[in-house]
Amino acid sequence: MSSGTGDLLAGGADGPGRLRALTSVVLDTLETAARARGGPLPAGGPNAVARRTAALCDAVLPEEGVGAEAALADLVRAVAEG
């Protein structure tokens, strides 16, 4: 009988490996987003930032998710790019 902790992000013996994979997603996305930003301010100015943010928030609770890695990458990219 399973305790169910294997499904938890940081729970159980697989927790550190699961976190390591998501940490890699964050670091890779930060690197890509910093290049896309191209400087200290977000590319395209406030209007472009507003458009990108609105596009991410279009379906707050979609019928089908994109997965932890893709969702985390989208969030990190939005914050890092501006």
- Better-scored residue on pLDDT, 80 or 14: 80
Q: Does residue 5 surpass a pLDDT of 60?
A: no
pLDDT of residue 43: 82
Q: What is the pTM of this model?
A: 0.66
In order of 3, 9, 13, 15, 28, the CA distances from 21 in angstroms are: 23, 11, 14, 10, 11
Q: pLDDT tens for residues 38-80?
A: 888 888 889 998 998 888 887 677 788 888 889 899 889 988 8
